[in-house]
Amino acid sequence: MIAGSGLCSSFKRELLEGRHDFRSHVFQVALYTADAPLDVDATTVYITQGEITGPGYSAGGMALGGVQLLGPTARAAYVTWDDPIWNNSTLTARAALIYNQSAQQRAVCILDFTEDKSSNLGPFRIKLPPPAPSTALVRLL
């Protein structure tokens, strides 16, 4: 049921409206099963339907740390965070939703892992794309 990866359409408009402040807002990442109704065009806020459960994971996911606002480089500005890691976890997830906890839990982007990813009494890590003008998850070109 996951319909692709990318920035949520609603987030693009909300950037222009000034709803998201990467310097002061708390951004979270939540994990989901393959049955979660995540869609870059339809998902506008954090949802609980299809969110995973398991040892080492709490509903709502975790706060993203290490935010970096970068650029302009090659006519682009972009943002990245440290890779989120759920240590000592036993989890299986197919996708993730990054959302802005500080702005009514508004959706930022969906990450479709394309297959189930698991941890077994160890770390579950989401490797975010490299922070560069052509690869960063959130970028303005």
| DSSP calls for 7-51 | E-HHHHHHHHHT---TTTS-EEEEEE-TTS--BTTT--B---TTB
Q: What is the distance between the alpha carbons of residues 31 and 54, in angstroms, rounded to a whole number?
A: 11
Q: Token match 């500080």: residue?
A: 102
Mean per-residue pLDDT, 60-64: 98
Q: Would you say residue 128 has pLDDT above 90? A: yes
- Please tell me the predicted confidence (pLDDT) of residue 56: 96
pLDDT tens profile 90-99: 999 999 999 9
Q: What is the distance between the alpha carbons of residues 138 and 111, in angstroms, rounded to a whole number?
A: 12
Q: Read off the pTM.
A: 0.96
Q: What is the distance between the alpha carbons of residues 21 and 80, in angstroms, rounded to a whole number?
A: 13
Q: Would you say residue 141 has pLDDT above 90? A: no
Residue 81 DSSP label: -
Mean per-residue pLDDT, 2-12: 91
- Please tell me the predicted confidence (pLDDT) of residue 3: 75
Is 13 exposed, middle or buried (CB count within 10 Å of its CB: 0-12, 13-18, 19+)? exposed
**Tokens encoding 31:** 């994990």
Question: Residue ranges of the domains in the chain?
Answer: 6-125
Q: What is the distance between the alpha carbons of residues 86 and 75, in angstroms, rounded to a whole number?
A: 35
62 membership: H or E segment, kind and range? strand 62-63
- Please tell me the predicted confidence (pLDDT) of residue 98: 98
